[in-house]
Structure 1
Amino acid sequence: MIRVLVVDDHPVVRSGLVGLLGSEADLEVVGEAGNGREGVTLAASLTPDVVLMDLRMPVLDGASATAEITAAGTARVLVLTTYDTDGDILRAVEAGATGYLLKDTPRDQLLAAVRAAARGETVLAAPLAAKLMRQVRGGDQLTPRELEVLALVAQGKSNPDIARDLFIGEATVKSHLLHVFDKLGVSDRTAAVTHALERGLLPSPGG
């Protein structure tokens, strides 16, 4: 019997997972927690085989909770989240998570992942594996031209402005921005600038 602890701050999601896992003959839900701190405490007292861990939670986030649980050696952690940005994936894996799945993962795949995690196997959804490998290999580095475009975006310039400043076409500007979004794991200009500033890819304003 595989003992599972469910950690998620959304009661509806938690009850859905508990119902799904509890319907399997070889899986037993031994507890549920609504935040990362509670998850760490229950993992220590209940000693489950697998902890299904959400990422964004109050009190203590999922990556930090994962790090504490894996450091204690009490259970294997399988992250189940709606977030698939490179930074989130890397933080969870660096924290020691055995696997990383998205909440839209089909039922059968999720159940198979829990069983695989219990065996100590690494479980990573295919699109996320590609993102992680690119991040680890440094393949997400922005080119000098992409950094130029992003720096001008940070100055509040529009695509036509950037095209004029760099003597390139607007379509080329759009292409560079799409590559930047993909590499940084974001979907808009504001998030790209914020992420780049956080990672030190752009000089901080006034700095």
Structure 2
Amino acid sequence: MSIKFSGWEALCDKSKHLKPGQAPKANHGYTMYHGTHKTTATTIISSGFRPSAGGTLGAGVYCSRDINKAMGYPGFCSANDRVVLKLRVRVGKVKKIDIQSQHLQTTWHQQGYDTAWLPAHAGLEEDCVWDPKRLTVVGIAHCTDSATKGSLEKLIKQEQKKLEGGQDMQKVTKCKFCGNQPQLNHTVEKCWECKDAICPFMDKHVCHKHS
């Protein structure tokens, strides 16, 4: 008799940084970077990311663990108008895009993946995250305008306080699935196998569909 196991067990990754050549582990959080125009940075910090309609890896929010990749974006403006946002990204289920998986280069999300990872070959590595709620702006990694940088950092702190205040109001409303995060922080999803309700902050989920 054979038993097919489906599910996961999340481990605490104490490393905040992952080298560009290292494969991201599913359900871990990593520091990444996103380049944008300084006027757009304010909107991203206050209202969140707006996923692109397409690109090398299809639709989603593009970022990279290599700050040099983010430093080149956006391509249509001068270097002094560019801002590199420092992010905390919960990658979820990751699909590495290589020669064997080129057919999923823009359709990985339809196969149940949350993030696509394109390793560095001729260029610099990049990641595409489907759900913008998986990305949180935590700092300004690069900005040549000190006044703009200070303003953006102040806005980041304000948004963090708003979130913390919302959490205080929601202390009694803990997620019934993970039990350790306020429901405000995340949305409940369905297991890709058994379709049970799950959330991204669960430490462990075992699917008994095939047992």
- Answer whether TM exceeds 0.5 for this pair: no
In the superposition, the TM-score normalised over structure 1's length comes to 0.28
For CA contacts below 8 A with separation 6 or more, give which structure has more relative contact order: 2
In the superposition, the TM-score normalised over structure 2's length comes to 0.28
More strand by share: 2
More helix by share: 1
